[in-house]
Amino acid sequence: MSTSGISVEARRIDALLLRALYGGSKSYWELMREGHAQTHHILESLQGLLKNELVTYDGNRFVLTEAGRRQAEALGLDRVADQRCETCAGRGIILRPPFDRVLEAFQEIVAMRPKATPDFDQGYVTPETTVLRLALMAQRGDLAGRDLLLLGDDDLTGIAAALSGLPRRIFVLDVDERIVGFIRDVARDRGWDNVHAEIYDVQDPLPETLRGQFDVFFTDPVETLRGIFLFLSRCTEALRGPGSAGYFGLSYLESSWKKWRDIQRGLLDMGFAITDMLGAFQDYQLENIVAQGYPVAKMAPVPVGEPDVPFYISTVYRLELTEAPKPLYTGRLELGTDLYYDDEACVTLRRP
């Protein structure tokens, strides 16, 4: 076999791509969703498959060659269908009352929101993802009657949470005054007196009035190790204590499993057990990936068009404190551009 002598992981990714392509031609962006690995490794695999002429590019989509079909059949991949549940797209969660109606109301509101800006590594999830993540929290008992902190909320999860009418208190911290202003305007219009939003730079200490005040947090942090720990430290400091829960998104597309391991060690050190980890739960709606010159587009082995599917996905972690919260960072911490960018980033624009 042409794949002998290569690493265990590379063989795994090869097989995932071959299986996906056996089912029909795929765009570059569709293949990014299939590899269950870091973008760099998916790219290496794709380059190897092209070089060995198992896969070819028709100018628009990747297709299996005759040799590729034989290879897939030799591995038995022709007999393996996609096992994901189509009803829930593999998430295990669907939108039932009240969240089905929340999504409708939410979509009207988000149509008016401020545009994402690379100034703050924004790039929001689809409205459906925002509401699905709340449905997950409700399913775990983490929404109704709870005090909820959102750190960084370009997704406007705070507004969707308020539409559900379930949390006791919703507090949004965001560095972008446009987001904070928008949430305040909506809350005023709707008469939500339990919804608060404040401008906050994660490099600053957590305001004293917010420490130890929350049952649950959600954050979708930047993807650098120190940045993630900084976001999660602020959130951890805001929790009440044992039994308090946290949710955050993490993508394997921009972070190696090695980095995941380092992050997981930090989570345990902060006093959490990881209770759930749902892969490909979050779909992001990123625009102008090619036009803006994101590394993931520039690194493609062939010239590619703008994404035809939400290619950027992330895993949702649920954490639960088993002891008093122990944030890794407290006080002011200056990170500058290191907050946003490291060597593994490929769906983040380096600022000048």
Please give the residues from 249 up to 278 whose contact with a second copy meets the rule CB under 8 A: 252, 256-258, 260-261, 264-265, 268, 272-278
Half-sphere exposure for 10 (CA within 13 Å, toward CB):
14
Beta carbon of residue 259, minimum distance to a second copy (angstroms, whole number): 8
Among 154, 215, 223, 254, binds a second copy (CB under 8 A): 215
Size of residue set near a second copy by CB under 8 A: 74
Helix (H, G, I), strand (E, B) or coil at 286: coil
> Rule CB under 8 A: is residue 98 a binding residue for a second copy?
yes
CA-wise closest residue to 115 among 285, 251, 242, 250: 285
- Comparison of 132 and 297: residue with beta carbon closer to a second copy: 132
For residue 64, report the phi and psi dihedrals to the nearest 5 degrees. -75, 140
> Rule CB under 8 A: is residue 84 a binding residue for a second copy?
yes
Among 323, 337, 350, 351, binds a second copy (CB under 8 A): 323
- Contacts (CB under 8 A) with a second copy, residues 129-188: 135-136, 138-145, 165-166
> Rule CB under 8 A: is residue 91 a binding residue for a second copy?
yes
- Comparison of 59 and 191: residue with beta carbon closer to a second copy: 191
> Rule CB under 8 A: is residue 298 a binding residue for a second copy?
no
Which range in 14-22, 194-202, 292-300, 339-347 contacts a second copy by CB under 8 A?
A: 14-22
> Rule CB under 8 A: is residue 99 a binding residue for a second copy?
yes
Q: Is the peptide bond before 327 cis (omega within 30 degrees of 0)?
A: no
Beta carbon of residue 8, minimum distance to a second copy (angstroms, whole number): 3
H or E stretch covering 344:
none
Count of C-beta atoms within a 10 Å radius of residue 145: 10
CA distance 132 to 144: 15
CA distance 351 to 345: 13
Q: Could you tell me how many residues make up the chain?
A: 352
> Rule CB under 8 A: is residue 24 a binding residue for a second copy?
no
Buried b (16+ CB within 10 A) or exposed e, 240-259: beeebbbbbbbbbbbbbeeb
- Comparison of 150 and 163: residue with beta carbon closer to a second copy: 163
- Comparison of 36 and 184: residue with beta carbon closer to a second copy: 36
> Rule CB under 8 A: is residue 86 a binding residue for a second copy?
yes
H or E stretch covering 261:
helix 257-269
DSSP 115-176: PP-GGGT--PBPHHHHHHHHHHHHHTT-STT-EEEEES-TT-HHHHHHHHT--SEEEEEES-
- Contacts (CB under 8 A) with a second copy, residues 229-248: 240-245
Beta carbon of residue 149, minimum distance to a second copy (angstroms, whole number): 14
> Rule CB under 8 A: is residue 79 a binding residue for a second copy?
yes
Beta carbon of residue 246, minimum distance to a second copy (angstroms, whole number): 12
Beta bridge partners of 186: none
H or E stretch covering 281:
strand 272-283
Beta carbon of residue 10, minimum distance to a second copy (angstroms, whole number): 7
> Rule CB under 8 A: is residue 322 a binding residue for a second copy?
yes
- Comparison of 77 and 206: residue with beta carbon closer to a second copy: 77
Beta carbon of residue 53, minimum distance to a second copy (angstroms, whole number): 20
